[in-house]
Structure 1
Amino acid sequence: MMNSPFAITADKVWEEMINDHSGEWGMDIHHWDWVPGVGVIAMLEYYEATRKPEVLAYLQSWVKQNVEKSKGTKVINSIAPYAIFPALYRITKDAWFREEAVRVTEWLIKETPRTREDAFEHTVTENAAFPEQVWADTIFMAVLFLARTASLVGSTIYAEEALKQVIIHLRLLQDDETNVLFHGWNCGSGNHMSAARWTRANAWIAAGIPMIVEEIGQLIAIPDELKERYGRLMGGLLSYQQEDGLWSTVMDQPHFYREVSGSAGIAYGLLKGMEMGLLPRQEETAVTAERVFHAILPYITEQGTVEGVSGGTPVMPTIQAYQDDIPTYPTLYGQGLVLMLMAKVPNKERFEHA
């Protein structure tokens, strides 16, 4: 159990997530989309770190209260909440969670739109289409669920598809010059559109890949290409960390505002990457992650609200638009990525060399 001062802060962050925020797009947990999806994924991490029964009870009640809302349009972003189903099956032995996970996975593999490179096309619940676009977000919003279902049912077919999607996304999005990721790729025009090195896009993959490897690594071999690309990605990200410990919302624009959710996701990736053997287990890396953690704490209010979180966004038409047109406000994904980092930092040997 977490019993440090950090646990008190984490409790507040979680409690603020489950408070009534009806009508607030970023904080209303009672709908079925990527925003609450990231929230419940983070709550599961928090439960696994603390074993607080009230967190598990909330996740179960949340599914019962909101699952009818899942029956709308099937898109990549609406897959995110299902990522907690495999764990809920293991905990509760309720066969419904397993059956739903398999049903949704079958749709994802057989029916979801794909680009000409065979990547999952990023699709959203809003009335908007991004044909032939590949976004970094997809790895966390859908491929993580696919990997967890693969582990649950022991399917090498599901695991191989998850691995394929990770490799395709890395090949299409990774910048060979800086090793970090662009926000998106347009398969039709064959370019990265505005070519923004958006911090939260990098965070979705920095956090998501080691989570995916944890699920599929017992079913299939993890190729050297994935390990090599992930190592280069994380090294590249560290080169853009600002003196205050955080990353700007577009990381190669140091005068842009600092972005807390992406910074938390990158720090989580550093810790999870070491845990999964994708990164060397080094004191320096652990200390870097803890530095991010402490840099984030001033952005958390006494009520547990995480500030400094950029709004949801497609690939913007220009790099400057990420600064000028995307405001910051509290969101469940901001709360969630910070909660994931909090759950990881105080519980994994407390950096045994630090």
Structure 2
Amino acid sequence: MKTSSFLQGMAVAAMLLFAGDVRAQSGALSKFPKGATPQEIGQRIANRFVASPHPNFGRPRPPRVITYPETCAWYGSLTFAKESGNKTLLQQLAARFEPLLGSRDTLIPVPDHVDYTVFGSVPLELYQQTKDSRYLAIGKRFADKQWGPPEGKRVTDDSRRFYAKGYTWQTRLWIDDMFMITAVQSQATRATGDRSYIDKAANEMVFYLDSLQKPNGLFYHAPNAPFFWGRGNGWMAAGMSELLRSVPKDNPNRSRILKAYQAMMASLLKYQAEDGMWRQLIDDPRSWPETSCTGMFTYAMITGVKNGWLDKKVYGPAARKAWLKLITYINEDGDISDVCEGTNMKNDHQYYLDRKRLTGDMHGQAPLLWCATALLRK
């Protein structure tokens, strides 16, 4: 009798666990406990951004112009404002831009490098939400310059060679580029309806895939930096996600990009730690859990599940686990810790392991906003 009761109890417990697991899978990206919802987290991080210095790069001496980490956090704040329906936040983010239209226009970078050209994604998003033509003019100038004739002090023989082959003259074959280029070009298509922008970006993406993706689905930082650096791969994951969200279905490169994206996501699933995080060097268990790459991979998986590119029963729980762990790194000021500092490219394994861990750096703040936005998207 006791044995029978015990077995019945175990069967009931198993059924409850199974039911709970099914519910977790079905609501993996839609049901979060209080304090962990995308609305709450997104608002905290966006508020932190609004209150941050301008320009900002997390250093004692501010940069001369707006740099890409601030651009990425600004873009994320804007998309979060849109998906959360927060008109007050939109007004605050537009007010942050207003000085750039007047006395502080020198803070706008010159679009002569991928890290500067991505700035165009911000005015293009402001235009889409406000229809103010001043933003469109600035954003288009940045997107157009990326494929315009090479000019300025950054032009090299490689620049001219890539341009002659139909690629942007800002090509340098660092995986970071595949967010910087795709973000502004995708935004230009969304703002104007002109698909030539995103078609060129898709062609560029395939060039990078052919050059840098490895058989395991991950990417070396560059041809002469054979390491699976976390945030570098994060830029690629986020860049493919941004591109696939808007690239037309009849684009001849779409299937190639989707296949590469799915191969990368499958590989990332294998390297995800039990607690949900990914590491500074993805395949090196000695390296530390890093928040900016974890945020970017989480964004890519959420986007894939929401758009049907990934199996929701597999990737939904993985993205949920990553999100719930990631937000534990946020302190009471709204700053996330364990963000890899800005990183150059170097053929030195130890160089990547030794990068400083920063708190509140925009490289880490931005992906939190992207994730919050993606979780709110229908």
- The TM-score with structure 1 as length reference comes to 0.84
Superposition map of 1:104-123 within 5 A: 104-112=142-150, 114=159, 116=161, 118=165, 119-120=167-168
Contact 1:136–1:204 (CA under 8 A) maintained in structure 2: yes
Is 2:302–2:316's contact at 8 Å kept on the other side of the alignment?
yes
Shift of 1:281: 3.7
Q: Distance in 2 between matches of 1:219 and 1:96?
A: 32
Q: Given that residues 120 and 143 in structure 2 are in contact (C-alpha distance below 8 angstroms), is that contact kept between their aligned partners in structure 1?
A: no
Output the CA distance in 1 between the equivalents of 2:250 and 2:58: 36
For residues 28-107 of structure 1, the aligned pairs below 5 Å read: 31-66=65-100, 68=105, 69-72=107-110, 74-107=112-145
Indicate the residue corresponding to 1:208 in structure 2. 239
CA contact (8 A) 1:213 1:222 kept: no
Give the stretch that moved more between structures: 306-315 or 23-32.
23-32
* Residues 230-256 of structure 1, C-alpha deviations (whole Å, 9 max, x = no match): 111111111111222111101111111
2:54 equivalent to 1:16? no
SS where residue 333 of structure 1 aligns?
Answer: helix
* Paired residues of 1:248 and 1:257 also in contact (CA < 8 A): yes
Aligned pairs for 1:104-143 (under 5 A) are 104-112=142-150, 114=159, 116=161, 118=165, 119-120=167-168, 133-143=172-182
SS in 2 for 1:201: helix
Deviation at 1:105, TM superposition (A): 1.9
Number of residues paired by the alignment?
329
SS of residue matched to 1:80: helix
Q: Which runs of 5+ in 2 are unaligned?
A: 1-31
How far did 1:40 drift? Answer: 0.8
Q: Is this contact kept in 2: 1:155–1:219, CA < 8 A?
A: no
Structure 1 counterpart of 2:95, one-letter code: S
Residue 141 of structure 1: how far off its partner (Å): 1.6
The amino acid of 1:283's aligned partner reads: K
Q: Which residue of 2 aligns with 1:310?
A: 340
Question: Whole-Å Cα distance in 2 between the matches of residues 57 and 284 of structure 1?
Answer: 38
TM-score, scaled to structure 2: 0.79
Deviation at 1:30, TM superposition (A): 9.3
Gaps of 5+ in 1: 123-131, 185-191, 350-354
CA–CA separation in structure 1 for the residues paired with 2:232 and 2:169: 15
Larger radius of gyration: 2
**Percent of residue pairs identical:** 18
Are 1:296 and 2:326 an aligned pair? yes
**Which one of 280, 286, 296 corresponds to residue 316 of structure 2?**
286
Whether the 8 Å CA contact 1:26–1:35 is kept in 2: the answer is: no
Identify the range of structure 1 (17-26 vs 167-176) with the bigger mean alpha-carbon deviation. 17-26
Residues 78, 126 of structure 2: 8 Å contact kept: no
* Aligned counterparts of 1:98 and 1:198: Cα–Cα separation in 2: 35
The answer to whether the 8 Å contact 2:335/2:360 transfers is yes
- Aligned CA RMSD, in angstroms, stands at 2.6
Relative to structure 1, is the Cα distance of residues 134 and 286 closer, same or farther in structure 2, using a 3 angstrom cutoff?
A: same
* Cα offset, 1:333, TM superposition: 2.4
Q: CA deviation digits over 1:139-170, x for unaligned, max 9?
A: 21222111221232232322221111111111
Aligned to 2:374: 344
SS for the counterpart of 1:87 is helix
Deviations 1:43-101 (A, max 9, x none): 12211221111221122112222451115463211122211223322322211222222
Name the aligned partner's letter for residue 274 of structure 1.
V
2:217 to 176, 179, 201: 179
Q: Is the 8 A contact 2:280 2:353 kept in 1?
A: yes
SS in 1 for 2:238: helix
Corresponding residue SS for 2:173? strand
Task: Confirm or deny that 1:154 pairs with 2:193.
Answer: yes
Aligned residues of 1:83 and 1:145 also touching (Cα < 8 A):
yes
Q: How far apart in 1 are the matches of 2:366 and 2:111?
A: 24
The answer to whether residue 228 in structure 2 is matched with residue 194 in structure 1 is no
CA separation of 1:44 and 1:3: change in aligned 2, threshold 3 A: farther
